[in-house]
Structure 1
Amino acid sequence: MELIKTHWTDGDYAEFRGYLRSVSDEKYRAFHISLVPGAEERIIGIRIPTIRKIAKEIAKGDIDSFLKCSCGTANEEIMIEGLVMASRKCGCGELIRDIFRFAGKIDNWAVNDVVKFPMISKYRREIADVTDKLLFGSGPWHTRYGLKILMDYYLDDEYIDFALEKTAAVRSEEYYVYMMQGWLLATAAVKYAEKVFELLESGRLTSDAAAATMGKMRDSRRISAADKDRVQRIRNRIAKGTKGGNTDA
């Protein structure tokens, strides 16, 4: 199918949906279904490099008409829509609109974690001002995407304190939220280990987020052996404290 179009119609999009199924991989579909519980009916079975290649081709044509026609509910369709949306050069207002449009379609980690909006780099201050609407607004997938934005664009000298403060402020028992907190903080620890350890030892993280962070740090090849030992000492202290608390009870 020709993916570079000067104008997309509803008929083109219907053809596109058929095309996606023609490039699916049944073995990959079965594997991906095992990783994304509850999404079986929405997984076509297309590998991520192929998804990115398709989105890149579409973005060479008329993006606006493609997005107007985009109405799919399959994981891969939403990923492609997000990647195409994220590829365009736009102003800050349009960028914010697109971020929230994409975030509103996320309902699993696979869709959440594929799409980055490079234009955020140009408008970091403005996007920072609206992160609360993602982090503390409309459910776990908005929160996870807000955390992913912090991880992708705010772990540097200028914004590290902001990113850590916002991450610590998230209080959630949702698995995919606190695991994202752990991923973000373990990533931050590569360059800002002392700041992350200070946060871990402050008691400001939820127990789930702290455990996820320490687990991710322990498993990371980018964390030094000395820092992994320090993580283990903190884990041991927490474990002893928990046992002591149970004994007193």
Structure 2
Amino acid sequence: MCEHINTQASSANELRTQLEELGEPPLRSFNARLVPTESDEALLGIRIPTLRQIAKDLWRHNRPLADAFLSDLPHRYLEENLLHMLLLNQLRDADEYATALEPFLPHITNWMVSDAAGPKLPTEELQRLEPYLRTWLADSHTYTSRVGGVLLMSNYLRDLFRPEHLQWVARIPSQDYYSHMLQGWYLATALVTQPDAIWPVLRDPEAAGVPLSVEARLKAIQKSIESRRISAGDKTELRALRAAIRGRHA
């Protein structure tokens, strides 16, 4: 069990008090620079491995408190939201996961929480989760669609990949920085496992029938160039492609 917290706390408020005591000011200052969408007062500075262990211990040893915490929305701190997501990751049923996640989605206000989504679901449950991802990706809330994209990228780029997933990602309604970064990240990751599907999109989205914005396309190319999993030859083509795009849109 986690040495840092009493998992037998009796309420969500008591759990919050214990979390406050775990905060590290230097880490809080560091994280504040990573999540500019959050105020300094919303951060405690708790390490992710510590939160992950707390989530596992609560789930195993005090499920009533875990359930009470999940119901206690909105949370006060970013770390509470992270703990919330890490608790949901303990679920192993797609419908239960989606049902528990959906009330939480509107309360996500930064990439750190959205990107922590990662339940370990077996293949048959991932197949049942897929329609939910399509719905979340079509949501106008930046971090709801980002959760959908993170889950799609983490679980559906090999045997469960389908070309229509590219349409879902390209059509994300929110066209802000964090959405473009998600689109670029997804495509750069998919380029490794599904190159035959991704290269046409990067070379000419319109011809490929994928409505990808210039911003997202450039993010995808940049992420691919930065990747250690992309060959030197492919990076040469990507750099030339990036230069051509910038030249057309200068």
**What's the TM-score bracket when you normalise by the shorter of the two chains?**
0.7 to 0.9
| 2:130 aligned residue | 128
Moved more, 158-167 or 226-235: 158-167
- 1:199 shift after superposition: 0.9
Cα deviation, residue 229, structure 1 = 0.8
* Whole-angstrom distance in 2 between the partners of 1:210 and 1:172: 15
* Alignment equivalent of 2:6, drawn from 2, 5, 13: 2
Which of the two has greater helix per residue?
1
Provide the rounded CA distance (Å) in 1 between the counterparts of 2:230 and 2:118: 24
Give the whole-Å Cα distance in 1 for the aligned partners of 2:13 and 2:96.
27
128-137 or 207-216, which deviates more: 128-137
1:79-111: CA deviations, max 9, x gaps?
A: 112211220334x43222123233232110111
Question: Equivalents in 2 of 1:105, 1:122: separation in Å?
Answer: 29
Q: Following TM superposition, by how much is the alpha carbon of 1:121 offset from its aligned partner in structure 2, in angstroms? A: 4.0
RMSD between aligned residues: 1.9
Q: 2:208 aligns to what?
A: none
**2:139 corresponding residue in structure 1:** 137
| Contact kept in structure 2, 1:134 and 1:146, CA below 8 Å | yes
2:31 alignment counterpart: 32
Match of 2:89 among 62, 65, 86: 86
Scaled by the length of structure 2, the TM-score of the pair is 0.87
Instruction: Name structure 2 gaps, 5 residues minimum.
Output: 206-210
Correspondence 1:91-170 to 2 at 5 A: 92-119=94-121, 121-170=123-172
**Residues in 2 aligned to 1:236 and 1:69: alpha-carbon distance in whole angstroms:** 50
**How many Å separate the matches in 2 of 1:67 and 1:222?**
40
Counting matched residue pairs gives: 237
Q: Distance in 2 between matches of 1:216 and 1:75?
A: 27
CA distance, structure 2, for counterparts of residue 157 and residue 121 of structure 1 = 9
When structure 1 is superposed on structure 2, of 150-159 and 113-122 the one drifting more is 113-122
For residue 163 of structure 2, give the secondary structure of its aligned residue in structure 1: helix
Cα separation, 1, equivalents of 2:104 and 2:230 = 32
Amino acid at match of 1:230: E
Distance 1:23 1:65 in 2: 18
* Cα distance in structure 1, aligned partners of 2:139 and 2:63: 28
The percent identity for this pair of structures is: 28
Contact 1:44–1:76, Cα closer than 8 Å, also in 2 = yes
Q: Deviations over 1:139-168 (max 9, x none)?
A: 111111111111011111332423223212
TM-score normalised to structure 1 length:
0.87
CA contact (8 A) 1:120 1:127 kept: no
2:249 corresponds to:
242
